[in-house]
Amino acid sequence: MKNSYLLAILSGLLLALAWPTYGVPLLAFVGFVPLLLAEKNIRESNYKRRGAKVFLLAYISFLVWNSITTWWIWYSTPFGMFFALLVNSLLMTIIFSLYHFVARRLPSKIHLIFLPAMWMAFEKFHLNWDFSWPWLNLGNVFSEYTTWIQWYEYTGVFGGALWIWIINIGVFKTIVHYKKTKERSVLTKGIARNVLLIAIPIILSLFLLNNYEEGAQEAKITLLQPNIDPYSEKYDISNPQMATALVELAQQDVSKDTDYVIAPETALSNPTPIDQFGNRQEEHIIQQFVNKYPHLQFITGVDFFRRYNQKEKPTVTANLFQRGDWFDFYNAAVQIDKQGSDQKYIKSKLVVGVENFPFKNILEPLLGDVMLDLGGTVAMRATQKDRGVFTATDETLKAAPIICYESIYGEFVTGYVKKGANFLTIITNDAWWSNTQGHKQHLSYARLRAIETRKSIARSANTGISAFINEKGEITKTLAYEAKGTLSGTITINNKQTFYVKYGDYIARSGVLVAGLIFLFAIARKKT
């Protein structure tokens, strides 16, 4: 068992050391191999309670991986960090334990198909349930090596996950076969085969990269990075004061040719009635600025609320305050244009515990109408059903108003493109995690969205890193973390829809079907 513990720890280390933005993604191709070898050794041994031993080894492995890659959540919420590490490791362990269950009943040709299918089914599930945390979904590992994955426009990140599993299983089978035969030719052929399976997708990606042509139309954009401390300073500034500060910052760089000014998430952070924004002083300040330029639009993050005058609960997301009033709160984006219209979009992928009450229907009767305090606010946020698109006054530019956490959800982002968005904006506040890998990975994952949709990205972050990303996923300009200022650049506009935009996570959906069928077959079979 000692060797098995070492193998489990090694798997965790390999996966952690593969992760962006500091790691080497090649390690992901062998990251699961030590754990697979440990599981096989236990499965074929005479140990009692083999299932429990596999569970323990897997939990150790995944806890090492999760801890090294996402410890920085501590800066936002210590409790939330422990919750994320322990629960996400547990979920991964359950999936691996299901693999062990199937492997004891079915031959390797089947159970080694079940494992990647079940893992991708888990990742798909992790994108959509109340405790969603897809930060460590396997396809994200290549976000710093976009020259390898230009084919994500066809597969999305699940293509990367499938690639990783094919190589891990190939290496695992090579080692097992070599241990049986002791023939060097087996090892040589196995290594050569797996190297080829790594090389072919990279060569295909380089071909796509060299032959890809970006959109001919262009837009000139200025990003604002006010660098306001979200823990203290931000909420001491009134909305009119903040609007004035944003305008003063924008004036440094805006010209008559500028199409968009983009300010970060909740830049206007004092809650405003959602139906009265057009009459507010902060809106008028920005409107007067926009009117000075021929074809300027201004996008900014705003905190909105809606108050209900009734005793009964008006919506599922409404919060009851002590004096008996019901409120809905919204983390929103607004676009202000020369026509005086205020287009609004409400953030719809919420941070667990910070912005939403997970499993509210189940937990609310037990805990009352309060948020689970995972380090955020104590008021649940409302969402909107469909994605929204901000259309410019000339109707040729259509921006996807992606807010913060939403940018790590691939198929979710395609919803903006299906609505007509021809470039992506991301407004975010990455100060919660301090100057750690957290905000760097958040920026890095945005590069995947650019490739999947073949849309340029303009990213405004309160504390940084603000950036422009082209349709190939290449970062072309950045403004450093904790730097106050503006970043201006020109992006290309693309009205085409990629294969992935049209069909989404079809690989993961196939995985759900395959895993379900194999699992049912395994239940019907006796142990072998």
Q: What is the pLDDT of residues 366-391, one digit of tens each?
A: 555 444 443 344 578 899 999 999 99
65 confidence band (pLDDT: 50, 70, 90): very high
431 confidence band (pLDDT: 50, 70, 90): confident
pLDDT score recorded for residue 375: 36
Average pLDDT for 487-494: 97
Question: Poorest-confidence range of 109-113, 246-250, 330-334, 335-339?
Answer: 335-339
What does pTM read for this prediction?
0.93
Q: What is the pLDDT of residues 15-45, one digit of tens each?
A: 999 999 999 999 999 999 999 999 999 999 9
Q: Measured between alpha carbons, how far is 370 from 384 in angstroms, rounded to an integer?
A: 21
Question: Poorest-confidence range of 130-144, 223-237, 335-349, 481-495?
Answer: 223-237
Structure tokens at 183: 């023939």
Choose among 359, 352, 266, 376: nearest CA to 316: 359
Q: What is the pLDDT of residues 269-283, one digit of tens each?
A: 999 999 999 999 999
Fold held by 217-493: Nitrilase/N-carbamoyl-D-aminoacid amidohydrolase (3.60.110)
User: pLDDT above 70 covers what percent of the chain?
Assistant: 95
Query: What are the Cα distances from residue 361, in Å, to 45, 91, 325, 365, 476?
Result: 45, 22, 20, 7, 45
Whether the pLDDT of residue 211 is over 70: the answer is: yes
Helix (H, G, I), strand (E, B) or coil at 49: coil
Helix (H) / strand (E) element for 116: namely: helix 108-126
pLDDT score recorded for residue 344: 97
In this structure, are strands 457-461 and 466-469 parallel, antiparallel, or unpaired? antiparallel
Structure tokens at 364: 């609310």
- For the chain, first and last CA: distance in Å? 22
DSSP, res 221: E
Show the beta-strand stretches assigned E in 357-474: 390-391, 398-403, 423-428, 457-461, 466-469
Helix (H, G, I), strand (E, B) or coil at 230: coil
Whether the pLDDT of residue 401 is over 60: the answer is: yes
Structure tokens at 276: 């009265």
Structure tokens at 133: 């945390």
Q: Measured between alpha carbons, how far is 320 from 329 in angstroms, rounded to an integer?
A: 11
Give long-range contacts, CB 8 A cutoff, 24+ apart: 114-117.
Answer: 114/514, 114/515, 114/518, 114/519, 114/522, 115/165, 115/169, 116/161, 116/162, 116/165, 116/166, 116/169, 116/511, 117/510, 117/511, 117/512, 117/514, 117/515, 117/518
Question: Poorest-confidence range of 3-7, 72-76, 370-374, 452-456?
Answer: 370-374
Parse the chain into domains and list their residue ranges: 2-212+506-524, 217-493
Structure tokens at 229: 């401390």
Whether the pLDDT of residue 516 is over 60: the answer is: yes
Structure tokens at 135: 């930060």
Q: Measured between alpha carbons, how far is 87 from 130 in angstroms, rounded to an integer?
A: 13
